[in-house]
Structure 1
Amino acid sequence: MINSKIFSWRGRLKFRVLAFSLIMSIIPLLILGLLNISAARLNLESAIQSREMATARKIAREIEGQMQKIEEKLMLTANSFHVQLLTADYRERERLLYTILKDTSSLEEVKLWDNSGKELARVSRREVIIQEDLGNVEKTPEFRTVIQDRPYHGPVELGEDGRPMITIAVPVRDLSGTRVVGGLAARVSLRNVMDAVLQIPTGNAGYVLVVDQTGRLIGHTDFSEVLRNRSVLSSLCVQELLSGTDPAKLPVPHRYRTYTGLEVLGVYAPVNSLGWGVVIEEPVHQVFTPIRQMALKLGLATLVVALLVTIISVSSALRFTRPIEILEEGVKRVGAGDLDYVIDFKSEDEVGRLVAAFNQMTRELKQKREMEAMVVQADKLAAVGLLASGVAHEINNPLASVAAYSQDLLERLETEKAEELLESGELIHYLTVIKEQVARAKKITQNLLNFARQSEWQPQELSVNSVIEDALALLEYQFKQADIVIEKKLEPQLPPVLADRLQLQQVFVNLFQNALDAMDKSGRLTISTSLEENYIKVTVSDTGCGIPEEQLPKIFDPFFTTKPAGVGTGLGLSICYGIISRLKGRIKVTSQTGKGTTVTVCLPVSRGKEGLNETAS
């Protein structure tokens, strides 16, 4: 049996030849290209991470330097002008503070206080401060730190406009330089510091962010992120920075999904003196633009090679596989039942000899099928002979009814008028009974004729229960005469099977006839159907004489019979086995001497057109 789906495009020799050529030419090219791309990717990641690490450290040093410069400027002013700061009047102090403010663009406010915390002067870049606005800084952390003769770097705070600010303060000493008599503090705008520092170039798509010791964003290449107070705590680099992880021990590549949701390569460097950190992140999809360009060029080269190899391979495959396709077409035709088909192909090579052998096999198969058909028909005719007497008796009953009703109608027409019988409805009744009995006789003879006629194998979807009923109808009279009780356990609404109706009917007639012969006079024949998985199971059990165990292996052999001489041909079960096998089913016989025999037939549930093509083979 040939399944047409076996020869799908993936299984064709033509495809295999083409695939082999493509694989042997393209795979090595792809492997080399992928290895090169992989190596280039690793090298690029390592180079980018090293470069960005150096940049991060440079930016961290630059931030420290900027803050140190501001502290040194304040310290220089405190040391150089301490006399003026301590002894001058308010106007002179204010002028001196304005000078500091003017010289350093990142300062927003500068103030001076004495050792009691009283503000002596304060100037701002954004507002005018008069002497009456001055207050006391005694309780501020910068005062408490400076009064201990230590410089002060405060935490980052947000100004009214959202800009990050930091306060730097230094002590002001007396003339001897040994005692702290006040303090000088500056409020520094980190935006100006960051704008200057973050000019240091990074990668093409990289960006820099600076965080304080709490992880709050205080600087960014895009400073609007700082003004929006964007949280960056979900960045892996920020988390590692806050945990104190050594940046030199970062894996290569250090890839992760950052606070923006993008996958990035990230590095960081601490600003040690301030407790801050510098983080540089570069989106992976932009980092690998050169790699993608390389991969695109490799893909185009591979495509060109594949196209050339395909053209050459298709040409070669067509010449190589054409004879095999001709043979395949022949196999399909013969498998579909066309045993008259001859493959017209001549060649002196192996394929030519294979075609010749196939044509010879087809001729022998045709002869075998013809012989099988003759044997099946002979068995049918033998069965018809056995059924003839029963059919004759079955026909006799409806004919007797027709004769009786016809005679009675003729006698009444002699004494009564036809119009009266028609008006009373009796004429219609007589004719209806005659019609029904004629139809019954016709059905009995038609069943016998259908069973006996020789026909081609015509598989169709049909009900097993219906075929069983038809087979029982042919043997109904014989069962009555032999006083055999028929017990039917037919499961309703079974799915159909795919079979030739007449041949399947012949199987059941043979099985029922065998049961009838085994029981002779009186007994019980039990017929049941059921659905088990994808098979219709038919069980035929009788209470006859049974079959000896040593004869069971031979019951399907042609011309073997356990019946007395002159009863049966010995072909029944052999033909049953052939028909059931052709339907892709199974038949099994179990028997006990003196107790009876059970025959089990399993037929596959129909699979529609697919199964129709298979059974034709």
Structure 2
Amino acid sequence: MNLRHKTSLLLGVVVSLALTISGFCMHFLYEKALRASVYSSVDMVAQSTAATIANYLESGFREARAIAVTLPLDALKNNHPAALERQLRMMAESFPNFRNGLFILNAQGDLLVDWPPHPEKRGRNFAFRPYFKRTRDARHGIIGEPYRSARTGQPVLTFTAYLQDRQGNFLGVLGCSAQLLDPAGLGALRQKRLGQSGYIYVFDISRKIILHPDEKRILVSDVPLGANPMFDRAIEGVDGVGETVNSRGISMLLALRRVAGSTWIVGAQEPRDEALSHINRVEFRIALAGLACALLAAIIGWIAVGRLMRPLRDLENIVEHLQLPAEDGVDDDVKGRTPGRLLPLQKNPDIGGLARVIYALYMELSEALVDSRKANSELQSAQSDLAQALDASWQLTEQLESNHRILSEQAAALEEANRQLKDTQSQMLQQEKMASIGQLAAGVAHEINNPMGFVTSNLNTLGKYLAKLRAADKEQAALLADLMDEEQAEAYLRQRRKSKVDMVFEDIPELLDESLDGAKRVRDIVQNLKTFSRVDQAEETEVNINDCLDSTLKIVWNELKYKAEVKKDFGELPSLKCHPQQLNQVFMNILVNAAHAIEERGEIRIRTWCERQQVKVAITDNGCGIPDEVRERIFEPFFTTKEVGKGTGLGMSIAYEIIQKHGGRIEIDSRVGEGTTFTIILPLDKTAVDDSATDDQPADHGQGEVRTWEKLLEESRTQETG
């Protein structure tokens, strides 16, 4: 893109930017003015509607009191419904607003008379109606809450008057019922429209809709708290205008005004998109005008810049065809031709200075080029001398590299020997420790089994003795009952109850059962200890991996039960020839690390299956997971992420070595914050193992701690067993 294109584009962009900014300002001002106009319009409608409703309610209240003044109270007091019915008929003709009817309830709330007459309802008690209770308690007429008539199903509004005799005794209540949706009354407000789809609605502070274009919503509280913020604020006593979202999720420009003398609130609203629709058309016109102006500015810039840049293009053509000087220097012919071609351009007021600068630069560069050619010839001579020196230095460098290579190989060999020595030392320490712990466990198990045999045998014998003793006591009690009189028998029973003999006989069997159960649990723990250690199995033996896992779970149960729920999914497995005590050590380290990875309460899932002549064990936890930087170093000896003094860093290193010696491998799938799965793969036939499968090194939880028998035995003394 050349300068002409760039200038035209820049001019178009500047014009477009200016028009865009001015368009945004116009849009803002126009929208502000239009919004204020809409707010004023809906507010005027809300205020006028509120005044109309207030006048309607006041008029109905006055008419109800006027009708009450005309009633023959003596007829009401003496229970003469005929006279009252004639008067109600006359009043119904004089006051057509009460199209739903007029009625009188006596002091007990019974329907005494109504017009139009409904004989089947006369005598029924309506004291439960809120308007009756409120009128009786307030001792004056009220405007009742709108409700749906049981007779017509239409929403009605009842105006009441308090009826009393000259002495102030309560005689009853006059009810004047108006149809809420009467077109001659408030029903006409439902037909008003603001714009195309705006409308008016009325509700009270109990959230009940009083008037609404949708008749299904009338007398229904279907606006939940929080669905319409301005609706909620109006109920709290704050009215005015603003933008809100109604209960149907539509943005509205809303005005809310209270109806004087009532708990009703009038809302006049118009959809925001409809009220501000004119702005979209204005925006489209502004965009078209801006695009046309930008295009015109780009065309004018294209033509003007083309004319202004003509001398510059001539200068570019001259500079492009300038000749380089000869090797022996800048001749007079070149000096003469160059200023002759640049002379007209040097007089140009726009680019004359640039032409003079180019001429001066050309002469300086020509002389510099001649000097550089001379220096280049001298440099080539010096390079030949330098090449000879470099040959000698290369020979010395090759000798030094050879010596460095030999030293590096020796250092690598020493490091490898040191690493192997450390690995061998750690494995020997662990093997000696496991052997001594296994012998200790077997000895402890043997020593515990002997006294536990005595305890179990004595408990069984004690149970038999208890049965004989209970039988003897029963026979003795029967004999004593025959030999003693009533007073002696009563004394014997009191002494027996005081000594709690029967309770002792009932409690001893439970104590014996609990003791036998505890002895059995101790015997099971000892058996699991012997099974796990297996010090008598130094050679490989065929075992079922499921049995090894069960034995390990029983040993480490105290470590797991407070941290996780263990779920087992054991499949059918063939026997595997292995060192079971070593595999138990691997399972123990992974299970304990899984428990440590769970912060509070989690889940550990153990799954076993056989696939392609391989036994697979997957141990999954939903703990903290393993970061990638920890996974890369997890099998390094003495590497641990635990605090100082809490981990040796040998657990997963030894586990990895044990699995490798069995011809297997460990795979890992871990996500930080979600959990980790260790998969141990052991071949049934070690000669068929693919060596490449051992390249993938899974990581542990960063715990790397060797779980020793000393620690487990110490924990088992302080915590309750399995």
Normalised TM-score (structure 2): 0.43
Larger relative contact order (CA 8 Å, sep ≥ 6): 1
Normalised TM-score (structure 1): 0.49
